[in-house]
Structure 1
Amino acid sequence: MKNLNVIDNLRPLPINFYYQPTLDLARSLLGCILLKDSPEGIAAGIIVETEAYIGPGDMAAHSFQNRRTKRTEVMFGLPGYTYTYSMHTHCLFNVVSGNVNEPEAVLIRGIEPFYNEDLIASRRDNVKKSKDWTNGPGKLTKALGITMNDYGHLLTKKPLWIAEKRSSNFKIEAGPRIGIENSGEAKNYPWRFWISDNKFISR
């Protein structure tokens, strides 16, 4: 049986945590713990890689030029909510940031398994190496059981929440974001952040 005391102590971060400038939030999320409860149990991972998207001036952002659609609507609201979207059959998980009508978000790109690795492994049953279970934005959502149904969920509440970091004893590195080649000069912005030397980063 898993040690539930570990999870019981991981309470959701307060809502004011999300009221940071997006680049600061992308850094602050590193080391925090992302958790998802499901009928199969709770699975959790330490956030080790993030990417900031600062629309409407960011050509790589879904909200570039204030593009407001059914998909991006949640980004125009308050920070601290879940923005999920599908890409190549994968569900990707983002944390809404910015002020109302300032649609910004932080993509979670990689997590290090922290709790219930058996469940995480079962959801990634065709992957033998543990480092490949969660080292990508589509991989980690499958591993934790995050789906499109989580769109619009407030991250201060279960079943999907983020808890405070266990340690800040790590170095943060920054560099260009990944997979946004057709976004003009925005492809060079150093808005991807990761924990140095962590094997669960996506690249």
Structure 2
Amino acid sequence: MDEQLKPLPKEFYETPTLDLAKELLGCILVKETSEGVSSGIIVETEAYLGTVDQAAHSYQNRRTKRTEVMFHDAGLVYTYQMHTHCLVNVVSGPVDVPEAILIRAVEPFTGIDLMLKRRPVTNFKNLTSGPGKLTKAMHITMDDYGKPFYNSSLYITQGKKPRQIDHGTRIGIDNSGEAKNYPYRFWIPQNPFVSR
């Protein structure tokens, strides 16, 4: 572990999901690999409220190989494949309350050369301004599934709390009934790395 970047403790994640989705903003997502360490300031999140949220993978208690980790302790890594991308989520509900928070965008912080090597871009704003972009740049993969954010090579550390937080509807969930209108997306206003 990088001495400057200590993982937040397990207790940090034991917070109601909508509150945690806001608390994560400004925190730093860190990934250690054999190539080196990269990190990014979390600037955008989306909350998914499990069994009652039609947009959640675990809606109506859907328990599958993919969603299994969501039924475990808060603070675990939930990665899943979407098309060619791996997306990363924080498991946020207590045991058997399958909720999670998607990390939608980060602002590059350290290991930027390494991120650019993995994901060469001409416009720097495109490096980590979306959930699939940030995982590729930081080499977050399906191998991270189920690991604890508070004790693994993928972790979250304290950052600087944003002065202001905006919220609105989530992105890309048009087929989820009234859930598509829930204001469960949170972001740091004016940050250029917010996905949209």
Task: Give the alignment's Cα RMSD to 1 decimal.
Answer: 1.0
The more displaced of 169-178 and 106-115 is 169-178
Q: Does 1:141 align with 2:135?
A: yes
Q: So what's the TM-score if we normalise by structure 2?
A: 0.98
Q: Is the 8 A contact 1:170 1:196 kept in 2?
A: no
Task: Work out the CA distance in 1 between the residues paired with 2:91 and 2:162.
Answer: 26
Task: Work out the CA distance in 2 between the residues paired with 1:14 and 1:169.
Answer: 20
95, 98, 101: which one pairs with 1:103?
A: 98
Percent of pairs with identical residues: 61
Q: So what's the TM-score if we normalise by structure 1?
A: 0.95
Q: Give structure 1 regions of 4+ aligned residues with deviation exceeding 3 angstroms.
A: none
Equivalent in the alignment of 1:42: 37
Q: Secondary structure at the match of 2:26?
A: coil
41, 49, 52: which one pairs with 1:54?
A: 49
Matches within 5 A, 1:4-153: 7-125=2-120, 127-153=121-147
The one-letter code of the counterpart of 1:141 is T
Q: Is the 8 A contact 1:91 1:138 kept in 2?
A: yes
Task: Work out the CA distance in 2 between the residues paired with 1:142 and 1:123.
Answer: 7
Q: Secondary structure at the match of 1:107?
A: strand
Q: Is the 8 A contact 1:37 1:159 kept in 2?
A: yes
List gaps (5 residues or longer) in structure 2. Answer: none
What do the CA deviations read for 1:22-81 (whole angstroms, capped 9, x no partner)? 000000000000000001100000000000000100000000000000000000010000
Q: Is the 8 A contact 1:109 1:137 kept in 2?
A: yes
The one-letter code of the counterpart of 2:50 is G
